[in-house]
Structure formats: structure tokens, C-alpha cells
């Protein structure tokens, strides 16, 4: 039997290429393409009076200039609203190029094509746009106040309003349950804006050959970009291919599509009959892509003497920026995932999502969960503080118990399906995290505190993913799946699954993701779903291929397929490796041939004597080739969980904050590759530390983003991230054949809650808004 | 129209003659004129370190360097780190320690670390952190990068 790879820290198959500098990222392609640049709005809110391109017309190398007026009707329509929801009563999306009004700094107004990017930017600088500035709506409270409007036809700036309520076992609503509870608390919690900020920005490269359009995009969903482009440009789907090449990080922002640029660049490439490329620069990414996180949350909680929550009422104000292409997924996730590992008596959550004249808000790794977890975990800490109890005890009395799974939280999750947790063991996880950090032995001291945070994460959301597996006549295995990769190691983990399932050495397996030429049906990479969805789909495809291989080999070896097995790429009778046939030959036999082109394929030709003359060469219901497809479509999401704890130290004078220990216990079901899972957790925690201590989007009252550069938006360097100690618990998911749950977002989710908890312990001051800087801590201390 | 300049750069040991305008960044020159796209651009304002290359052996930010100012100099990019026997010890250590995910920051780290270990073949934990603290990575959380630096030091010592 070939060594088992599933569960092993197999080294990454993508690394040699990336380490040698041979990665193919978007801007590494299309060396002969014309360059695209955009004139973007310098105002947060303004009416466009006039656009004068005349001063730019003499620039050498200018090819074309387009404004909204130049776009055909179909191309000039507002971008699609990707996820409609009945509660999103006033969804609004942008035009690909601004029409009459701009609603945030960075909105594209004019598109320029030139022979090189420097020249395209020269042209942009010379185009004169006359704006009539309008009142900018900035900040949640100003937006909610509704005095000035972002969209004239959206009263009060309210895009969506949603209430979900779960009654207690006794049939009580939250208000009543809180009223009747022995103790109640009420407080407000704030989280600032941050953003995914991958090191590679967005980018689009398009080529049109007169019949077929091929588009490369640095995206998290090539299949859906393809459908969006086909629809916008009026092209039949089979004539459009979209490829996500190597992508330099996504973290959520690149799931949004179609970006204006994803429509405009292919459109102009067709019109001009030239290859076109647009590569986003860093400032563009800050002001024209997407942000997340910004929410204000009001909590009321009622609890008993043990700290058991009897009723919880949360009101969320969510800032979705200027437009809502991604709907209201973020606040929906906050509202539902807030419940974490707890059974809450009665729960009511209400959110209003309001427009502001800022960059649109769409999911960033964690996607609303960091805010929800911050709410719930702050609540647990406050209850403990009020009752004078240990913070872990209060959590423990509220945990869902291992024998209560599947556990129905009584709500509707982001996939439109019931929020039912499939499996988990929260008490055990708490014991593990306490032991790892030494919770019970920790001696608090002034300026030194310990904190904890727990979360549950719905992962692997549907509707489906697919996989295609083909064994070619050289014995190589080619795996493809439609979803995309941005550094998660899919080429490795999917190869591990295929190698195991097919009994071939991993060196013979290659994996392609995000290329619609290879696999056209997919949803995308987000919501910690890739391993669960495509992993299982590929396993199912492998099962089909394996079955076919055994059947063909059984004919050739005159053996019962049930007695056959595959190892090291050889099909043989189990226990007797002497009678064997290589998969390469099986692949040849699977495809009856008329013409031979080498010795191997000669075996499949009509006079080779390998096929029975009494049966059709391709039996009824069969297909030529040793290949198969599999699709995995789960009934609902699978729920991973984790608990983090940290020790922080603060400087008595400068209020500088240092995270001295950070521990993570994580349960994502069965691990395919522990090395990769651990890497995902490290990266997530680092982003969480950024969100807890450094990162914020500093908009001024006029809607100018004051820190739109890496100089001013403080992403953690190596010196800011603590060493992360990890422990794993494996409660397999009963929902999928591989028993796995998602891991991609886990690291980031509870970090703000954990750091707040530890800081509160160190300082004895309530920490109710994140991130927190040394100067803010200094101020909280009373200066 | 900006004036063009003919310059010669020795890139990874090969002399390359290119004609560039005075404002052409070294990063763009390497990527688009010389055709070596392994050097990446993450910010173009000198903060992320993705564009780090070795100029006469010293790490520099190619996005803050005009190509014309390095006429006649020696440049090593990520494509030049591997030897005839394959990946360099630093590159291999990165693979072994899972020090890269999306790989976009990696060329900058590899160049930085290669220079770091040349100068200081056995750095302490502190020195490693200090040494990589000018490069941003959004994926890895840096822990495995620091580990890879130590591992590369070991490999270099073994293979010396
Ligand atoms: S691209 Fe040069 S430092 Fe960021
Ligand atoms: S590996 Fe993605 S930015 Fe470092």
C-alpha cells in the first residue's frame, strides 16, 4: 500500500516554482499588453459637472479614453447585486464608470488606455473633471442620523434592516427573558474598519481573438467572473474563459466580482482588438477595493447567579460603505455566529446596515465573526466580572455539551439554511486551552493580564464544488477543480487526497485550480470552504476513476475487481503484487483507439487483441478515457471551533502593549495537512493582532482616507506578531466523507476579543472598542 | 516626451542592455524590460519589501530606485538565487519550514535573508526578527519565516 498522505505534513507542491521566482501572478502576464489606468474621484460625494479630456489628447502613447457615456447600454448598467436578500430593501451598486454622481473617494470616473502604465497615468493626470462637491456622509452615527443622504432614493441611508429572534425553551422572547433575569447588564461595543490588504492587489488582463475572450483576473472566483463577463458583454459562455493565475493573497476582498475593471478591461480589449492589462496599485487598493469590520453593537444581557445567559438582545449598526454588491452577508454572519459555543436562553438580534460615502464593505477573513465574537466574549467577561467569577467558569456553564450535537441554534445562517452545529467538544477544548496557557496558575499583576476568547465558525458553505480527475497514458494524474487558490496550498492538499485515493505517488499528481478551461462549474474560495468542498468533490471523483480502473484492470488480469487494489500506480490482486498492470496501461485500455502513436497506445488499437470482439469497444453507459467528475454539495455548513488565550503586558508609563504569549486550540475536524493548517492559523492570528492593536481606516469628516498607504496603515511586521503556540482537537464532521471542516479564517476570529480580555485583566479598565493603541489605552487610564 | 537612456545592468551574472526613460523604476525595468517577473511590487512606496533585490550584494528596494541610477551595477534577483544544483539553502529552508503561502512577499524575503546570512551566518532570535522586520507578509504570520532563517543558517553551515 502506498504510504498514507492524508493527515501528513506533506511539503508544498507549489513552493519550488514560487521560490525560484517562477510564479505567474497577474502582472507577470501579458508583457505586450496595452496598459489601463483610471481617473478616480478625489471627492467622497460629488456631482460630475463635466469631463474635459482635451488637455490629455496630445500625450504620446495614448490609445483611448472612455467615460460612462462611451459605454454601450449593457456594459454601462449598474454592477450586479450578487447576493440579494429580502431584508436588503435598498440595495445599490455602482456603475462601472461613475454616472453623474461619485459616492466615495476612489470611484472610477474615466478609463485610459495607453502603450505603457506611466503614460496612462500621465493621461489621467491631464484629464480635467469638474465636480460639484456634495455633503459627505461619514461614520455610522452620522449615516444613521440620516440628515444627509448617500443615495437620494435611500431614505435614512438604511439599505437593510433585519431582525431574527429565538425564543427560550419556555417560549420567552429576549426582552422578557432579560426582564425576568436576576441580573442584567447593558453596554456598547465598537469595532473599527480594517481590510484584507493582500500584498498583491487586484488586476485584470484580457485578450480577444475575434471569437473567444480570455481573461485573467486576480480573483477568488474565476467561474463566477466568467459568467458575469459573459452577461455584461453579451457573449455566449463557451466563448469566455477566465483564469485565476497565481494570486498573491485574497483574504476575502477578491471574492467580490465583477469589479468594474473586470468588465471594462475585457470590453475595451474587444473594442480595440488589443491585449489590455490593468494592475491595481496600492493606493487604488485602499480607496477602490473593499473594507470590512466597522460596526457598533449595543448589547443587553440577562443572566442568573451562575452566569448562565437567560436572554440576550443585540442591536447592530453596520456600515456597508457606498454600495452593496455583496449584500448583507457580513452582518448576517455577525448576527448568527455571535452565539459561539453557547446555548443562549432567548436571543434577539437586530441590525441596520447603512450607507456612507466610503469604500464598500464586503467580507474580509472572518467576515463579521470577529465583531460577533467580540460581542459575545466581552459579554461573558462582563458577566464574570459582575459576579466575581472566573471567566472560564462563566463560559463553561453556557457551553453546548458534546452529547447535544447536532445542535440547532434556531436561526438561519448565511447559506440560507438552519444554523445547526454538526459536531464539537467545547468543554474539552476549554480544558486544553487552559492547560496550554497555564490559566489556573497565572498570577495577575498590575500591567500583566490573561485573556480568553471562544468561537464557532460555520465553514464549508454550499452550494457545491466539483472535481475532475484524469489519469493519462503516462500514468500521471491530473486533478482540476473550479475554485481558486490564493496561497492555501490547494495544489498540495488536493494532491494528497488524490494520491491516497488512487494509490499513486504524489509526485505523479498535479492539480489545477481556478481555470475555467479545465473546470467550469464552481462557486469560489471563501468562507473556509475550499478543503471541505473541493476536497470532498475530488475524493468522490477519485472513487469513480478508481472503480473504472479496477474494472478495466479486472478484465485485463482476468480477476474480480473486488479482489484488486492499487498501490504505487500499479493495479494488482491484493496480497499478490506479481499479477499487476500499471495505471498507465489501464488508461490506454480505457480509450479504444484506431491509431497508435507510441508503443503504449498500440495496445489499445483494434488489432492488438486487448478488446473483446463480442462487445462494443465503448460499452453502453461508458465513456472513453480514465477520468471522472465528482460533485460535493452539502446539506448545510460544517462548524469548526476554536479557543484562544493570551498573556499581555502593558507599560505603566507609555501604555505600550506587548503580547507575551498567544495560544490557540483549534478544531477543524480531520486535518489533511497539519503543517498547512498551522500556517493558516499563524497568518490568521497575525491579521487578528493587526486588527486588535494597529489597523484602522482613518476617514476624516470629508470622507478622505487619511492613511491609504502602507506608511500609515499599520500592518504588523515580524516584530509585532507574538509566537503562536497551537493545539489541535479533531472532532470529525459527520456531514462529509472526509470528516473535515474549514480552517482558513479560524486564526483571525477571536483575536480582538482575546486581547481585550487580557488588557482588561491587566489594567482593570473595561475595553469596549477595538483596535486599541497605546495612546488610547493611556487615555482610558485617565491620562 | 521623456528622454530615453541606454543603460547596462548585470542581472544574475548576465549583462543586459536596456533603454529606459529617466523615471523608470528599477522594479519595472527588471520586471517589464528585462522580463524577470520574480521581483514583485506590493506598494511602490518602500514599505513592504516585496521588491527587494540585491544591488552589489546589498538589499535595496527596487521600487525606490530609478533604473538609470544603477547603470553598470550588479543586481541579483530571486531568479538568480538558485545555483546549478537547484534551490539555494535559503530557498530550501523556506520550503521545509512552510515559510510561504501565496508567495508574493517571498522573493523579497529570500533576497533579504540571503544578504542577512552572508553578513551574520548564525543570527540570534532577536537578530533574525530584526533582519526580517522590514518586509511585510500578509499570509504567514512570520513565525515560519523566522524558523526558516535559522534553518537556512544550519543548511549553509552544513554545506559550507
Ligand atoms: S514594492 Fe517596493 S517596498 Fe513595497
Ligand atoms: S506569503 Fe503571502 S504575503 Fe507572504
Ligand 2: atom nearest CA of B101 is: 1
Taking chain A (783 residues) in runs of 10, the rounded mean pLDDT of each run is 79 97 97 97 98 97 98 97 96 97 98 97 98 97 94 97 94 96 98 96 98 97 96 97 97 96 98 98 98 96 98 97 96 95 95 97 95 98 98 98 95 89 96 97 94 94 92 96 92 95 96 94 85 91 96 92 94 85 94 86 83 84 93 92 97 96 94 94 97 96 97 96 94 90 90 98 96 96 83
Q: Which of A632, A649, A664 is the last residue of a domain?
A: A632
Interface of A with B in 77-116 (CB under 8 A): none
- Quick one: pLDDT at residue A2? 46
Chain A nearest-CA distance from B72, in A, is 23
Q: Which residue of B has its CA nearest to A674?
A: B98
A11, A18, A196, A690, best to mutate vs chain B, most B CBs in 10 Å: A18
| H/E segment holding residue A123 | helix A117-126
Other CB atoms within 10 Å distance of the CB of residue A470: 18
Tallying the residues shown for chain A, one arrives at: 783
Q: What is the dihedral of CA B84, B86, B89, B95, to 10 degrees?
A: 160
Q: Are residues A371 and A349 in the same domain?
A: yes
Residues 6+ apart with CB under 8 A from A599: none
Q: Which of A234, A253, A288 is the last residue of a domain?
A: A288
Q: Are residues A252 and A387 in the same domain?
A: no
Query: Inter-chain contact B106–A711, Cβ cutoff 8 Å?
Result: no
Cis peptide before A196 (omega within 30 of 0): no
Q: Are residues A492 and A365 in the same domain?
A: no
Domain assignment present for residue A143? The answer is no
| Residue numbers of the domain that contains A304 | 159-195+291-462+635-780
Instruction: Return the CATH number at A436.
Output: 3.30.365.10
Q: Which residues of A touch B144 (CB under 8 A)?
A: 679, 682
Q: Which residues of A touch B133 (CB under 8 A)?
A: 717-719
Q: Are residues A617 and A487 in the same domain?
A: yes
Of B25, B28, B37, B41, which is best to mutate to test ligand 1, by the most ligand atoms within 8 angstroms of its C-beta? B41
Q: Are residues B11 and B71 in the same domain?
A: yes
Ligand 1: atom nearest CA of B43 is: 4
Of B50, B104, B142, which is best to mutate to test ligand 2, by the most ligand atoms within 8 angstroms of its C-beta? B104
Rg (CA), chain A: 28
Query: Inter-chain contact B138–A715, Cβ cutoff 8 Å?
Result: yes
- Report how far apart, in Å, the C-alpha atoms of A598 and of each of A271, A508, A570 are: 45, 20, 20
- pLDDT < 50: residue spans in chain B: none
pLDDT tens digits for range A471-522: 999 999 999 999 999 999 999 999 999 999 999 999 999 999 999 999 999 8
For the stretch A395-398, contacts whose Cβ atoms lie closer than 8 Å and that sit 24 or more positions apart, written own/partner, are A395/A341, A395/A342, A395/A430, A395/A452, A395/A454, A396/A427, A396/A430, A397/A306, A397/A307, A397/A308, A398/A307, A398/A308, A398/A309, A398/A342, A398/A343, A398/A344
Evaluate whether ipTM surpasses 0.85: yes
Q: Is B144 on the interface with A (CB under 8 A)?
A: yes
> Rounded to the nearest 5 degrees, what angle is found at the Cα of B119, between the Cα atoms of B113 and B121?
75
| Residue numbers of the domain that contains B12 | 4-80
Chain B nearest-CA distance from A220, in A, is 13
Q: Are residues A728 and A615 in the same domain?
A: no
Tallying the residues shown for chain B, one arrives at: 160
Q: Are residues B11 and B70 in the same domain?
A: yes
Q: Which of A288, A305, A335 is the last residue of a domain?
A: A288
Indicate the number of domains in chain A: 3
Q: Are residues B66 and B130 in the same domain?
A: no
Domain assignment present for residue A21? The answer is no
Q: Which residue of A has its CA nearest to B103?
A: A18
Domain assignment present for residue A582? The answer is yes
B97, B104, B140, best to mutate vs chain A, most A CBs in 10 Å: B104
Residue B66 C-alpha cell reads as: 530609478
**Please, is A100 exposed, middle or buried when counting C-beta atoms within 10 Å of its C-beta (0-12, 13-18, 19+)?**
exposed
Are A591 and A604 a contacting pair, CB within 8 Å?
yes
Other CB atoms within 10 Å distance of the CB of residue A658: 14
Q: Are residues A269 and A317 in the same domain?
A: no
Q: Which of A517, A540, A541, A524 is nearest to A490 (CA)?
A: A524
Q: Are residues A212 and A87 in the same domain?
A: yes
Ligand 2: atom nearest CA of B100 is: 1
User: Which among A23, A675, A686 has CB closest to B103?
Assistant: A23
Q: What is the dihedral of CA A587, A588, A590, A595, to 10 degrees?
A: 150
- Report how far apart, in Å, the C-alpha atoms of A529 and of each of A176, A441, A637 are: 38, 38, 9
- Report how far apart, in Å, the C-alpha atoms of A477 and of each of A3, A498, A510, A714 are: 17, 8, 6, 44
Interface of A with B in 220-239 (CB under 8 A): none
Distance B43 CA to ligand 1 centre (A): 5
Q: Which of A723, A534, A503, A528 is nearest to A640 (CA)?
A: A528
> Is the pTM of the predicted complex or chain greater than 0.90?
yes
Indicate the number of domains in chain B: 2
Q: Are residues B29 and B52 in the same domain?
A: yes
Residue A57 C-alpha cell reads as: 489628447
Q: Which residue of A has its CA nearest to B25?
A: A118
Query: Inter-chain contact B146–A718, Cβ cutoff 8 Å?
Result: yes
Q: Is A165 on the interface with B (CB under 8 A)?
A: no
Nearest protein Cα to ligand 2, atom 4: B137
Q: Are residues B141 and B113 in the same domain?
A: yes
Residues 6+ apart with CB under 8 A from A530: A465, A483, A485, A488, A490, A742, A744
Are A163 and A349 a contacting pair, CB within 8 Å?
yes
- Quick one: pLDDT at residue A522? 87
User: Which among B39, B101, B106 has CB closest to A683?
Assistant: B101
Are A296 and A141 a contacting pair, CB within 8 Å?
yes
Distance (Å, whole) CA A281 – CA A296: 31
A10, A13, A15, best to mutate vs chain B, most B CBs in 10 Å: A15
Chain B nearest-CA distance from A369, in A, is 19
Are A198 and B137 a contacting pair, CB within 8 Å?
no
Q: Are residues B67 and B104 in the same domain?
A: no
Please report which ligand is nearest the Cα atom of B139. 2
- Quick one: pLDDT at residue B2? 65
- Quick one: pLDDT at residue A3? 60
Chain A nearest-CA distance from B132, in A, is 7
Distance (Å, whole) CA A183 – CA A174: 14
Does the beta carbon of B36 lie inside 6 Å of ligand 1? no
Amino acid at each position: 500500500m502506498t504510504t498514507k498522505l492524508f493527515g501528513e505534513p506533506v511539503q508544498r507542491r507549489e513552493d519550488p516554482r514560487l521560490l525560484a521566482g517562477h510564479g505567474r501572478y497577474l502582472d507577470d502576464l501579458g508583457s505586450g499588453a496595452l496598459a489601463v489606468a483610471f481617473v478616480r474621484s478625489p471627492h467622497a460625494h460629488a456631482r460630475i459637472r463635466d469631463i474635459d479630456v482635451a488637455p490629455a489628447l496630445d500625450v504620446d502613447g495614448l490609445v483611448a479614453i472612455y467615460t460612462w457615456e462611451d459605454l454601450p447600454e449593457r456594459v454601462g448598467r449598474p454592477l450586479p447585486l450578487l447576493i440579494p436578500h429580502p431584508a436588503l430593501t435598498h440595495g445599490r451598486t455602482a456603475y462601472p464608470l461613475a454616472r453623474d454622481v461619485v459616492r466615495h473617494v476612489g470611484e472610477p470616473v474615466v478609463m485610459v488606455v495607453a502603450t505603457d502604465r506611466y503614460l496612462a497615468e500621465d493621461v489621467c493626470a491631464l484629464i480635467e473633471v469638474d465636480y460639484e462637491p456634495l455633503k459627505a456622509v461619514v461614520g455610522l452615527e452620522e449615516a444613521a442620523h440620516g440628515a444627509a443622504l448617500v443615495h437620494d432614493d435611500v431614505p435614512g441611508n438604511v439599505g437593510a434592516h433585519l431582525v431574527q429572534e429565538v425564543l427560550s425553551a419556555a417560549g420567552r422572547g429576549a426582552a422578557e427573558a432579560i426582564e425576568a433575569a436576576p441580573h442584567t447588564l447593558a453596554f456598547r461595543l465598537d469595532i473599527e474598519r480594517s481590510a484584507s490588504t493582500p500584498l498583491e492587489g487586484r488586476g485584470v488582463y484580457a485578450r480577444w481573438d475575434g471569437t473567444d475572450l480570455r481573461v485573467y483576473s486576480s480573483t477568488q472566483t474565476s467561474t463566477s467572473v466568467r459568467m458575469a463577463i459573459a452577461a455584461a458583454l453579451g457573449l455566449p459562455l463557451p466563448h469566455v474563459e477566465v483564469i485565476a493565475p497565481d494570486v498573491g493573497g485574497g483574504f476575502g476582498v477578491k471574492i467580490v466580482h465583477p469589479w468594474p475593471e473586470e468588465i471594462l478591461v475585457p470590453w475595451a480589449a474587444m473594442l480595440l482588438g488589443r491585449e489590455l492589462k490593468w494592475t491595481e496599485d496600492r493606493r487604488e487598493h485602499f480607496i477602490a477595493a473593499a473594507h470590512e469590520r466597522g460596526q457598533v453593537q449595543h448589547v443587553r444581557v440577562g443572566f442568573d447567579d451562575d452566569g448562565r445567559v437567560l436572554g440576550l438582545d443585540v442591536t447592530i449598526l453596520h456600515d456597508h460603505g457606498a454600495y452593496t454588491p455583496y449584500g448583507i452577508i457580513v452582518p448576517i454572519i455577525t448576527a448568527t455566529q455571535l452565539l459561539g459555543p453557547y446555548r443562549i436562553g432567548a436571543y434577539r438580534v437586530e441590525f441596520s446596515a447603512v450607507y456612507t460615502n466610503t469604500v464598500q464593505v464586503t467580507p474580509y477573513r472572518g467576515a463579521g465573526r470577529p465583531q460577533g465574537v467580540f460581542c459575545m466574549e466581552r459579554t461573558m467577561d462582563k458577566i464574570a466580572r459582575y459576579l466575581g467569577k472566573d471567566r472560564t467558569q462563566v463560559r463553561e456553564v453556557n457551553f453546548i455539551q458534546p452529547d447535544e450535537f447536532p445542535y440547532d441554534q434556531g436561526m438561519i445562517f448565511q447559506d440560507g439554511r438552519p444554523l445547526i452545529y454538526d459536531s464539537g467538544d467545547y468543554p474539552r477544548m476549554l480544558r486544553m486551552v487552559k492547560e496550554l496557557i497555564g490559566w489556573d496558575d497565572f498570577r495577575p499583576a498590575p500591567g500583566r493580564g490573561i485573556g480568553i476568547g471562544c468561537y464557532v465558525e460555520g465553514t464549508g458553505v454550499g452550494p457545491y464544488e466539483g472535481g475532475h480527475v484524469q489519469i493519462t497514458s503516462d500514468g500521471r494524474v491530473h486533478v482540476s477543480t473550479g475554485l481558486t487558490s490564493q496561497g492555501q496550498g490547494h495544489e498540495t492538499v488536493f494532491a494528497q487526497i488524490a494520491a491516497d485515493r488512487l494509490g499513486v505517488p504524489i509526485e505523479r499528481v498535479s492539480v489545477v485550480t481556478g481555470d475555467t478551461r479545465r473546470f467550469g462549474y464552481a462557486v469560489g474560495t471563501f468562507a473556509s470552504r475550499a478543503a471541505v468542498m473541493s476536497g470532498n468533490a475530488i475524493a468522490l471523483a477519485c472513487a469513480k476513476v478508481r472503480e473504472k480502473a479496477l474494472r478495466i484492470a479486472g478484465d485485463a488480469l482476468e480477476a474480480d475487481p473486488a479482489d484488486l487494489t492499487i498501490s504505487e500506480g500499479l493495479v494488482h490482486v491484493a496480497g499478490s503484487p506479481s499479477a499487476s498492470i500499471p495505471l498507465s496501461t489501464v488508461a490506454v485500455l480505457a480509450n479504444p483507439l484506431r491509431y497508435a502513436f507510441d508503443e503504449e497506445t498500440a495496445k489499445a488499437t483494434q488489432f492488438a487483441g486487448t478488446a473483446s470482439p463480442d462487445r462494443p469497444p465503448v460499452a453502453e453507459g461508458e465513456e472513453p478515457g480514465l477520468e471522472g467528475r465528482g460533485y460535493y454539495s452539502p446539506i448545510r455548513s460544517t462548524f469548526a471551533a476554536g479557543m484562544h488565550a493570551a498573556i499581555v503586558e502593558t507599560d505603566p508609563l507609555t501604555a505600550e502593549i506587548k503580547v507575551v504569549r498567544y495560544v490557540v486550540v483549534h478544531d477543524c475536524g480531520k486535518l489533511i495537512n497539519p503543517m498547512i493548517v498551522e500556517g493558516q492559523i499563524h497568518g490568521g492570528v497575525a491579521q487578528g493582532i493587526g486588527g486588535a492593536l494597529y489597523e484602522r481606516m482613518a476617514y476624516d469628516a470629508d470622507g478622505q482616507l487619511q492613511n491609504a498607504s502602507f506608511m500609515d496603515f499599520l500592518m504588523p511586521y515580524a516584530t509585532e506578531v507574538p509566537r503562536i503556540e497551537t493545539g489541535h482537537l479533531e472532532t470529525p464532521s459527520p456531514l462529509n466523507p472526509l470528516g473535515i471542516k474549514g480552517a482558513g479564517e479560524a486564526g483571525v476570529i477571536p483575536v480582538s476579543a482575546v486581547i481585550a480580555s487580557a488588557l482588561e485583566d491587566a489594567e482593570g479598565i473595561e475595553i469596549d472598542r477595538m483596535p486599541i493603541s497605546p495612546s488610547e489605552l493611556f487615555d482610558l487610564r485617565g491620562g | 516626451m521623456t528622454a530615453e537612456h541606454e543603460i547596462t545592468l548585470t542581472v544574475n551574472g548576465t549583462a543586459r542592455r536596456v533603454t529606459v526613460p529617466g523615471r523608470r523604476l528599477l522594479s519595472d525595468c527588471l520586471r517589464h524590460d528585462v522580463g524577470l517577473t520574480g521581483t514583485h511590487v506590493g506598494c511602490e512606496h518602500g514599505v513592504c519589501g516585496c521588491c527587494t533585490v540585491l544591488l552589489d550584494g546589498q538589499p535595496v528596494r527596487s521600487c525606490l530606485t530609478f533604473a538609470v541610477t544603477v547603470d553598470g551595477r550588479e543586481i541579483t534577483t530571486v531568479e538568480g538565487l538558485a545555483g546549478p544544483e537547484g534551490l539555494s539553502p535559503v530557498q530550501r529552508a523556506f520550503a521545509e519550514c512552510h515559510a510561504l503561502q501565496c508567495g508574493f512577499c517571498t522573493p523579497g524575503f529570500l533576497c533579504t535573508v540571503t544578504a542577512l546570512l552572508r553578513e551574520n551566518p548564525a543570527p540570534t532570535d532577536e537578530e533574525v526578527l530584526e533582519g526580517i522586520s522590514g518586509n511585510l507578509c500578509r499570509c504567514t504570520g512570520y513565525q515560519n519565516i523566522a524558523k526558516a532563517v535559522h534553518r537556512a543558517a544550519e543548511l549553509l553551515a552544513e554545506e559550507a
